[in-house]
Structure 1
Amino acid sequence: MNINRTLSVAALALLIASGSVNAQVKRKPTPSPRNKPTAAAVAPPNVLPVDKDVIIGKLPNGLTYYIRHNEQPQKRAELYLVNKAGSVLETDAQQGLAHFTEHMAFNGTRDFPKNALVNYLQKSGVKFGADLNAYTSFDETVYQLPLPTDSATVFENGFKILANWAGYVSFDQAEIEKERGVVLEEARLRGKNAQERLSLQTLPVLLNNSRYATRLPIGQETVLKNFDAATIKSFYSDWYRPDLQAVIVVGDFDVKRVEALIKANFSGLKNPAVKKPRPDYNVAPTPGTVVKVVTDKEFPYTLAQIIVKHPHNVIRTTTGYMQSMRISLFNYMLNQRLGELQQKPEPPFLYARTSYAPLIGKQDAFSSIVVSKPDGLETAVKAAVAETERARKFGFTLTELERAKQQALVGIQNAFYERNKTNSVNYVREYTQNFLTGEAMPGIDFEYNFYVSNISKISLAEMNALAGQFISDQNRVIIVEGPDKDKDKLPNEKTILNWISTAGNGITAYVDNVTSKPLMEKEPQGSKIVSEVKDDAIGITTLTFENGLKAILKPTEFKNDQILINGSSFGGTSLASDADYTSASFAGSIVGSSGISEFNQGQLDKMLAGKDVNVSPYISELTQGIRGSSSPRDFITALQLIYLYFTQPRMDADIWKGTMLQTKALLANRGLDPQSVFQDTLSAVLSNNNFRFGATTLDRLNTADQDKSFKFYKDRFADASGFTFVVVGNFNVELIKPFLATYLGGLPSTNKKETFRNLKMYPAPGQITKTVYKGIDDKASVQMIYSGPYVFNEANNMQLDALEEILNIKLVERLREQESGIYAPGIRASYTKNPEGRYTVTIAFTCAAANVDKLVAATLDEISKIKQTGALPADIEKFAAEEARSTQVQLKQNVSWAGYLAGAVQNDQNPDDILSHVKNLENVTVQSTKETANKYLNNANLAKVILMPEKK
C-alpha cells in the first residue's frame, strides 16, 4: 500500500497532476516573487549569496537564462523551458487549457509540424515520456529536454525546439481535435476514483475557496470537449511570453557557445504589444477552525488531517536559512517519536506523520496526518496529537536534538562530497525555483560551510519553542475521510474537536531510550581469501573466502560518497511448505524491522544516527539476501550489520504482533477498492491460481506463527557458502579486502548447496479472459498478457527488448494519436531464467468502458502488422538510439552496475557481455522483429484481464 495516496494534501498533487505533469505541491520552502531591486536599493546584510558557478542573464525581451557547466552525466545536457504560466491564470472558458497547451507543444510547432518533433528526438535517443516530458501546475508550466552533447547538430537543435515551445506552437485544428481525447483519457487515468471524488469536496475547504481551489490543472471536462482554437491561442499569446520565461541549461558543454545559442534562438521572441499584468494569487486565512467530514463508497481507509496554515516563509537570508534548519530538525525529531509508536505491539495507527512544510498559495502548514485501523480513529487521532502536545509542553531532549543534528550533517556532507558528481537535473530544479519564486541558490559550498558553522548554535530552547509557534486553533482545517459504510461511526465537528483538545491530557515527558553499548563487542575471527580473479575488461575482482562465500568488487569513481552492497543466494520462500508459507513470507521484513542482536529497532536507529548507512535483509520467492549502502567512512558499520543479520538476528515480539494487527486492518476494507480487486484477479491469472502470488487473506494470516517465521529466517541465513556479494562504489580493493575477510569471511558456513524449488507460478497455457466488474466510474483497465517458455540469453533478451519498445511506439501512435482512446500504454516484456526459462509480454491501458473492445482489437491489429511485415526501419532506429543512449548513461552509474552484476551471477551470465551490448543492437532488423513477434506474441497463448465498472 502506498499510504501517501490516501492523504488529502498529498492527494492534491495527484489530482492536479496532468498529462506528463508532475505537479509540484510540496517542496522545500520557496520565497514569493520580488521586484528586481533598483540601483539605489541596499541588500540586507545577511542576504544569501548566488552560486558563483551559474551564469544568469536576461535578454532585451525580458527572457531570463541560467547556464552551468556540469559533467554528470558526461556528454549530456538538460535543457528546460520554464513558464510562469499555469492554471491559475485561466479564465472560466480556459479551464484546463494551460495543461492542454503543454500537450499541443508536442503536436506541432513552426519548425516541427505535427509529430515531427517527437520523431526527431526519438531517433536521437531521447525517449518520449521518460526523457522528453513536461508538467503543468497552478503557477507554472515546465518543459524538459535532455540531450546528448556529443552530437552538435542534435544539441543545437534543442535550442530551436525550446524556442518553438516558447513562442511558435501551431495549434492546428486537426491536432487539437485529436488531442481532446488524449487529455480526457489522462483525466480518466489519474482520476475517476475515490480519492478524486473526496478531494473535490475537501480542497475548497483546505484552500478556502480561493482561485487555487477552482483552477485544478486538469480543468473542466466541458471546456476540454468544446473549446475552440481561438480560446487556447488567447491563453498562449497572453502568458507564453519572454518576460515570463526562463531557459535553463546545465550539462557537459562550452558555456559561451550555449549563451550564444540562447541569444540566437530566443532574442526574436516578442512580448505582446499590451501585456496583461500577471495576477498574484494567494489563499486568504480562515478565522478559527473548519471541519470537513467526507466519505466514499470505494475509499478503503479512515484518516484524519489537521492542518494549521501559516504565511509562507520567504528564505532569502541567513536568518531564514537558520529557521529552515530548525524546522528540518523539528520535523525529524517529531516523526522519530511517531515512528516509535508504530513499533509497539498494538500501534495506535496504521500510519502517522507530522511536519511543517510549504503548502500552496503562499502558505506553509503544520500538518498532522493519521490513518487509523477500522473503528480506531479516536485512538489514532489522540495518539498523533498527543505527540505534538508532548513536544509543546515538555520539549525535546538534548540527546534527540544531537541525533537530529548529526543526521542533518550526514545529508549536507553527502551533498558536499558529491558536489563534482551532482546530476545536472538537480541544479535545474534549484534554478527553476529561483526563477519562479525567488528562492535563494547559494550553492553547496556555501550551504555546507554554513551548516557546519551554525548548526551547533541551534539551542534546545529554540527548538522547544517551535511547537508552540506552529500549533494553533486559528486558520486550521480538520479533514476526516472514510468509507461510506462507516459514515455513522465517523465523528462530527464537536467530537473531533474534543478529541484534539483532550489528546494531551495526562501525558508525561518523553524518555529517550538510548544505549552506550557498541554495535559489536569484538570482531569475528574471519577467514582467508582462497582465490582472487581479476577481470580487467570491466574492472572487477572476484574473491572467494574459506567459508565458500564470494565477493565481486567493482571500484568506481561515479560517486564520491557511495558504496552499494548486494548479497544473495538461492532458496527463498520457495523452500517453505504451503502450510508454513505465510509465516515464512513475513520473516525478512519483520527481522528487518526488529533491530539486531540485543538492540530493538528504536535503539538501533539511534545508534546509527549520524552515519550514512542502510542495511536490510530480505527473503524473496527464489533468494534470500542483504541489500545495503553506505558512505566509504561507514563501510565497516555496514559490514558489521550484515554480519549481525546473519549471526544475531532479532524478531521482536512487539513488531510481530503489531504487524499482524496492522495487516489485518488493511485487509478489512481491501475489497472496496476496484484496483485491489482487479489486482487480486490479475495475480491469480499470472500464477495459475497459486495462493502465494496473491494478497494475504485473513484466514491465512491467522495461521502465521512467529516461531516458525523466525526459524525460517535463521535457516535461510545459516549457510553463507552459497552467497555472492556484489560491492560497487568508491573504495580501494586492497584496502577493503581485510575487512571483507573479517566480516563476510567470518559468516557461518555449512556447505548445504541449496537451491530454489520450481513452484510453476506462471499463467496457464491457452486463451484466458477474466472480467472484473467493480467501480462506480466509467473507467476500465485492460491487461493483455502473452507468456510461454523461453531460452534466456543475451541475443533473445535483446530481441524481446526491441519488441517491447516497438510495440510501445506503435500503440502510442494507434491507441493514443489515432484513436484518441488512451493516455499512455504500458508495455512490459520480461524474461527470467529462474526457476525456469519463461517470458511475459504485458500490454496495459486505461480507457472508457465503451472503448475496451475497440482498443483491444486495434492492439491485436498492430501486433498482426508486426507479425506480417516486421517493424518499420525508422522504429528500429528509434529503439537502437534510445538503447545505446541509456546504456552509455547506465555504464556510469553505481546502481546500474550493482544490479547488472548481481543479475549476471544469478543467471550465470558472462558479465563482459555488457561491453558488446551496443554493437549487438545492429542484430535487431526488420526480419528479426517479425520472427520475434511471431514467436512470442501468440494469440493462442493470451490472457486478457479486464476491469469494468459495475453493471447498473
Structure 2
Amino acid sequence: MSKNFVRGLCLAALLCAQVLAVAPHAAAKPATALAGAKAAPRNLAPLRLDAAIPVGPQVKVGKLANGLTYYIQRNARPERKLELRLVVKAGSILEDEDQRGLAHFVEHMAFNGSTNFRKHELVSYLQSIGVGFGADLNAYTSFDETVYILPIPTDNPQHVSRAFQVLEDWAHGLDLAPEAIDKERGIVLEELRLGKGASDRMGKQIMPAIFNGSRYAERLPIGTEEVLRNFKPDALQRFYRDWYRPDLMAVVVVGDIDPAQAEKLVKQHFAHLENPKPARPRPYAEIPARQATEALVVTDPEATGNAVLIRYPVQPVHEAGTIRAYRDDLVQSLFSAMLNQRLQELAQLPEPPFMGASSSLGKLTPRYRSYNASAALGPRGAEAALTALVAENERARRFGFGAGELERVKKNLMRTYEQAWNERAKSDSGTYAAEYIRNFLQQEAIPGIDTEYRYVKELVPGITLDELNAYARRTIPADSGKLVLYTGVSRPETPQGQQLLAAVAAAQRADLQPHDEKAVAARLMERPPKPGSIVAESHDKALGLTHLTLSNGVKVILKPTDFRNDQVMMSAARFGGQSLFGDQDILNARFANAIVASMGVQDFTPLDMRKILAGKAAQVNVGLANYTDVVVGASGATDIETMLQLTWLKFNGVRRDEDLFRSYVGKQAELARNQTAQPGARFGDAVMSALYNNHPRAPRTLKAEEYEQIDLDRSIEIFRQRFSSARDLTFILVGSFDAAAIKPLLATYLGSLPTPELTVAYRDVGLRPAQGVVKREVRSGTEPKSTISLSFTGAAEFSEAEQLRLSALLEVVNLRIIDVLREKMSLIYGGGASGVLSKIPYGNYSIGVTLPTGPENVDKVIAATFAEIEKLQQDGPAAADLDKVKSNWIQNHRRSLRENGYWLGHLQTALSEGTDPGSILQVEQQVQALSAEDIRTAARRYFNAQNYVQVVLNPEAPAATAVAASSSKHTASGG
C-alpha cells in the first residue's frame, strides 16, 4: 500500500470528493471505537529504519520462469467481481522514429481481433456478460507503460477462464493484419484530431523545456499524424514483437476468486510465453539536469487560463524500499501540506496574488522528480503571482513552520490513514490493482494497510518541528538553475521572459518576516444548542429504514449499512430554489451558494474552518438548485456530530465578509475572461441559445463584467430566505452508524433547527425548448475539428418505468453509435447520447447527442446517426444489443446495492419525485422485463425528426493559416 493508495481510497470513499480534499482529517477518536473494528497488532518489535519494507500478506507476488510477474489477492468488494490487469512495461518512449504513436496503436488493436477472438467478437462477448466498453473494459498508453483493464463477473467460471484467455491474447496473440490495421487508422486519427487545440499546440512548445530536451518531449503517446497515416504494418508488428514479452509484463488478479485457482490460470495462460531471441534491451530515457535559468512564455488565443510554473532541477528517483524511506515520504507529505496551506491563505486575500497555487517535490516520470511551484493567475497577473509564490517558499526555507501548523497536518494525515485502515476489508479491488501496477512499474512498496497504519502511528509522532524545518531548508532550492514557464491567453499585457526572471530574482532577495500564525477557536461550537426531541418513529424493515419526526417538524430517514466502516452520507431537499426569485435576481440567486460558502461560517473564515476541522472527516454544502433547496453532507463514522454541527451552523447565520466576496468575484471574472475565446464555451452557449431561445434562465457562460452585477447583500438575503428555516426538510442519512446511538445527536442538532414559515414550492419560470427543427452553425477554433450537437425535447409523463425505457433506449443508441460510426465507418473516436425524464417543472424529456468529428465528415455523421435512429424506430433493437444493456445494468445494480451513495440517491429521488423507494429491490426484474418493443416504442416517442435542435461547431479558418498565428513563444535566460 502507499500514500497514493490511501489518498485515492479516501477520496473515492465519500459522496463529495471535497470532503477529504478540502479538509483532510485526522482521528478524533481511536479507530477501535468503530463498530466491528479490529485493533492493529500490539507488542511488536520496535521498527528498524534500515529494514526493508516487506510485501504484505494480503497479496501473493510471483514470477514465472520466463520473467512474467504476477500479483494475486482475494478481495470481496465488489462481490462476484474480478479485476484483471495486463501491464506491459513498454510505452511510447520505446518507439523507433517510424513508430511514433504505434505503442498506442497496438493498444487499439487489442480490441480488434486476436488468436481466439475475431474482430468485434471480443468487445461484443464482454458486453454480453455485463462488461461495458469504455466504462469498464479499457486500456491506456503512457510514456513507459501500457495497461489493459478487464473487470469480469465471477458468477460463471467459464467467464473467468475466458477472461484469462483474453489477457493471454493481448500478451502475444493480437491480429495485426494489414487490413485490420488500415481499418483502425481512421479511429486513431479521429482521436488525434480530438486532442488538437490550444493545449496540444502549447504542449509541443513546452515539452522540450519541461523535459530538458530529453526523448520524452518527442514521444507523446498519441504520436504524429504523418506516422499514423503512413506507417507500414511491419512497423507496428515490430513494436509488438520487440516489447510485448513476458519479462516486461505483469498480470494483476484482484477480486472474488480463490488465489490457488487464480495462480493456476496465470501459469496455464502465461508460463509458455517466450521472450524474443535476441531480446532488445529495454532502455530508459535520461533527463539531463538543468544548469541555467531560463524563462519561456507560450500563449494561445484559445488557452483555458493563465498560469506560471517554476520547475527546479530534476533529480533521479530511487525507491529504497526501506522504512526510513517510508518515513522520509511522510516528512515530505507533512511539509507539502503545511506549505500549501499557506499558499491557500494567500489565495483568499481580498486582492489575491493568484487564484490558487501549490508547491511540492513531485515526480516528473517514474525515475525522475523535481521541486515545483505553480500558480493559476488572477487579475494581478504573473509578476504578482511569482513574487508571492517565491516569497512564500523562501519564507518557509528561512524561518520554517510553526508548532500549530505541524500539529494540524499530522492530525489530517493520521485521520486519512485511519480511514484507510478502517476500510481495509471494504476497499474496492480496482484500488488494490492500481497499487500493484505501481509496484511493478515504480517499485512502490506494498506492505498492506495493517503494516502501513502501524508505520504511521509509530513514525508520525516522532517527526519533530526542527526536522521539518531542516527538511524545508534543504529541499526548497535557494538558488539553482530553473525553468520559469508562463502559459496563457494571448493578450497585450502578456509578460516577457526577462520580466518573469526579474520577478523571481527579486522575490528571492526580498526582506521577509516569519509567517504570522493566527490563533483560532479549538472547536466549531462552544456548547451544543438546546436539543429538540423525537416525537414519532416508525420502521421499514424491508428497506432497513428508520423514519423519525423531530419536535420542530423536521423529518429524518436513517439507513445504517455495513457497506463501509467509516463513511456516512447525508442529503435533504425541498422544492423552492432559484425558481422563487425573479429574472432580475437570477445572478444573485445562482451564486448565493458559492458566495456564502466563500465567506465561511458565522465567525469563522474558510481558513479558520480548515484549522478547526483538522483531524475531522466532515463537510456540508447547502445551496439553491434550479427548483430545490439542497443540503448535502458526508463524514467519517466518528465525525457525524461535526457534520451535524456544520449543518446547524449553516442554518443559523451567514458570515458577511466584503473582502472575501471581492476575492471570489474577482476570480470568477478572471475565469470568464479566459473562457471567451474557447471554442467549447462558444459552442455550449450556442447550443443553449438555440435550444432555449436566449431565455434568461438558460445556462450560459457569463461575461467577466457580469460578475460585477452580483450584489453581496442581496445574495445573502436570498440565501437567508431559504436557509433560515428547515421547514419541510427530510434529512436522509446512509452509512456506518448505529441508529440508536445517533438519535440524541439528531435531536440536538436537527431537532433544534429553526422552522419558521416559508414557501415550499417551485415556480415554473417558463423555460421551454424551441419547437420544430432548428439548425445552426458555430464557427470557432483554428483546428480542423467539428462537433455535432443534436437535442431532442418534448413533453412526457414521468414514471420510473418510463425513465427505465428511455435510459435503455439511450444505451442501445450508444452501442449503435460506437459499432457503426466508430468501428464500421471510422468517422468518430468517441461520442454518444444521454438524456433524462423529469416531472419538474412539468413532465418533459431531454436527449442530447454529442459527436465530435472532422468538418469533412459532419454530414456523414449526422446521416448515419439518423439512420440508426430510424432503424430502431422501425425494427427495434437487435436482441443481442438489448441483452448487452440488460446484462451491464444488472451487474452495475448488484454492485451499487452495496454503495451508500446509490441508496442515498435513490431515497432522495423517491422523496422528490414521489416514487416508491422499495422499487430499488425490483430493479433486476424491471430490467429483465424490458422488451424490444419497449425500445422501439420509446424510439418513436422520444426521437421526433420534426422537433429537434442541431448545432454544429466548425473551425473558423483553415488550420494551416490559423495555427501559424495562434501561438507565441518568448524565451529568456538568466544566470
For Structure 1 versus Structure 2, the TM-score category normalised by the shorter chain is over 0.9
- Asked whether 1:435 is paired with 2:440, we answer yes
The CA distance in 2 between the partners of 1:674 and 1:747, in whole Å, is 47
Indicate the structure whose relative CO is greater, using CA pairs within 8 Å and at least 6 residues apart.
Answer: 2
The alignment's TM-score, normalised by the length of structure 2, stands at 0.91
In the other structure, the counterpart of 1:181 is 186
Return 788-797 or 413-422, whichever deviates more: 788-797
Contact 2:583 2:696 in 1 (8 A): no
In the other structure, the counterpart of 1:250 is 254
Matches within 5 A, 1:861-872: 861-872=867-878
Structure 1 residue 361 displacement after superposition? 5.9
- Asked whether 1:217 is paired with 2:221, we answer yes
- The one-letter amino acid of 2:495's match is P
The CA distance in 1 between the partners of 2:779 and 2:94, in whole Å, is 40
- What secondary structure does 1:109 align onto? coil
The CA distance in 2 between the partners of 1:688 and 1:466, in whole Å, is 60
- What secondary structure does 1:384 align onto? helix
In the other structure, the counterpart of 2:119 is 114
Return 604-613 or 762-771, whichever deviates more: 762-771
Question: Pick from 78, 81, 105: which aligns with 2:83?
Answer: 78
- Over the aligned positions, Cα root-mean-square deviation in angstroms equals 1.6
- Asked whether 1:158 is paired with 2:163, we answer yes
* Alignment deviations for residues 61-103 of structure 1 (CA, whole Å, 9 cap, x no partner): 2211110011011111101100111111110011111100000
Matches within 5 A, 1:328-727: 328-360=333-365, 362-374=367-379, 376-472=381-477, 473-486=479-492, 489-504=493-508, 505-692=510-697, 693-727=699-733
* Alignment deviations for residues 662-691 of structure 1 (CA, whole Å, 9 cap, x no partner): 222222242211111112112223433223
* Alignment deviations for residues 569-625 of structure 1 (CA, whole Å, 9 cap, x no partner): 221111112112211222111222222121222111100001111222222111222
The CA distance in 1 between the partners of 2:153 and 2:304, in whole Å, is 46
Runs of 4+ displaced beyond 6 Å:
none
Structure 1 residue 699 displacement after superposition? 4.8
Cα 1:871/1:227, change in 2 over 3 Å: same
Contact 1:315 1:439 in 2 (8 A): no
**Structure 2 residues not aligned, in runs of 5+:** 1-47, 959-975
Question: Pick from 197, 207, 210: which aligns with 1:206?
Answer: 210
Cα 1:695/1:492, change in 2 over 3 Å: closer
- Asked whether 1:193 is paired with 2:197, we answer yes
* Alignment deviations for residues 833-863 of structure 1 (CA, whole Å, 9 cap, x no partner): 2122221111111111111111111101111
In the other structure, the counterpart of 2:295 is 291
Question: Pick from 785, 792, 815: which aligns with 1:809?
Answer: 815
- Asked whether 1:275 is paired with 2:274, we answer no
Contact 1:722 1:751 in 2 (8 A): no
Return 617-626 or 193-202, whichever deviates more: 617-626
The CA distance in 2 between the partners of 1:892 and 1:545, in whole Å, is 29
Return 797-806 or 336-345, whichever deviates more: 336-345
Structure 1 residue 698 displacement after superposition? 4.1
Contact 2:598 2:664 in 1 (8 A): no
Question: Pick from 66, 74, 78: which aligns with 1:61?
Answer: 66
Contact 1:418 1:559 in 2 (8 A): yes
In the other structure, the counterpart of 1:46 is 51
- The one-letter amino acid of 2:94's match is L
In the other structure, the counterpart of 2:853 is 847
The CA distance in 2 between the partners of 1:923 and 1:59, in whole Å, is 47
The CA distance in 2 between the partners of 1:518 and 1:302, in whole Å, is 38
Cα 1:649/1:770, change in 2 over 3 Å: same
In the other structure, the counterpart of 1:922 is 928
Return 662-671 or 154-163, whichever deviates more: 662-671
Question: Pick from 270, 274, 286: which aligns with 1:266?
Answer: 270
The CA distance in 1 between the partners of 2:140 and 2:527, in whole Å, is 54
Question: Pick from 221, 227, 242: which aligns with 1:238?
Answer: 242
In the other structure, the counterpart of 2:4 is none
* Alignment deviations for residues 257-288 of structure 1 (CA, whole Å, 9 cap, x no partner): 11111111112222112111111222111212
In the other structure, the counterpart of 1:941 is 947
In the other structure, the counterpart of 1:12 is none
The CA distance in 1 between the partners of 2:839 and 2:79, in whole Å, is 34
Cα 1:582/1:527, change in 2 over 3 Å: same
Cα 1:197/1:708, change in 2 over 3 Å: same
In the other structure, the counterpart of 2:774 is 768
Contact 2:653 2:724 in 1 (8 A): no
Cα 1:333/1:575, change in 2 over 3 Å: same
In the other structure, the counterpart of 1:37 is none
- The one-letter amino acid of 1:342's match is A
The CA distance in 2 between the partners of 1:771 and 1:526, in whole Å, is 60
The CA distance in 2 between the partners of 1:331 and 1:836, in whole Å, is 51
Contact 1:282 1:361 in 2 (8 A): no
In the other structure, the counterpart of 2:800 is 794
- Asked whether 1:758 is paired with 2:764, we answer yes
The CA distance in 2 between the partners of 1:751 and 1:533, in whole Å, is 26
In the other structure, the counterpart of 2:786 is 780
The CA distance in 1 between the partners of 2:100 and 2:162, in whole Å, is 33
Contact 1:283 1:361 in 2 (8 A): no
The CA distance in 2 between the partners of 1:922 and 1:53, in whole Å, is 38
* Alignment deviations for residues 842-887 of structure 1 (CA, whole Å, 9 cap, x no partner): 1111111111111111101111111110000000000000010000
**Structure 1 residues not aligned, in runs of 5+:** 1-42
Structure 1 residue 533 displacement after superposition? 2.4
- What secondary structure does 1:352 align onto? strand
Cα 1:424/1:757, change in 2 over 3 Å: same
Return 430-439 or 688-697, whichever deviates more: 688-697
Structure 1 residue 463 displacement after superposition? 1.4
Question: Pick from 802, 815, 825: which aligns with 1:819?
Answer: 825
- What secondary structure does 1:503 align onto? helix
Return 514-523 or 150-159, whichever deviates more: 514-523
The CA distance in 1 between the partners of 2:570 and 2:199, in whole Å, is 38
Question: Pick from 233, 251, 255: which aligns with 1:229?
Answer: 233
Structure 1 residue 696 displacement after superposition? 2.5
Contact 2:408 2:615 in 1 (8 A): yes
Contact 2:670 2:704 in 1 (8 A): no
Matches within 5 A, 1:903-918: 903-918=909-924
Contact 1:397 1:512 in 2 (8 A): yes
- The one-letter amino acid of 1:616's match is N
In the other structure, the counterpart of 1:302 is 306
The CA distance in 1 between the partners of 2:703 and 2:201, in whole Å, is 28
Structure 1 residue 546 displacement after superposition? 2.4
Structure 1 residue 491 displacement after superposition? 3.1
Return 706-715 or 649-658, whichever deviates more: 649-658
* Alignment deviations for residues 618-650 of structure 1 (CA, whole Å, 9 cap, x no partner): 221112222111112111111111001001332
- The one-letter amino acid of 1:803's match is L
* Alignment deviations for residues 344-372 of structure 1 (CA, whole Å, 9 cap, x no partner): 11111122222211112622121111122
- The one-letter amino acid of 1:590's match is I
The CA distance in 2 between the partners of 1:572 and 1:208, in whole Å, is 53
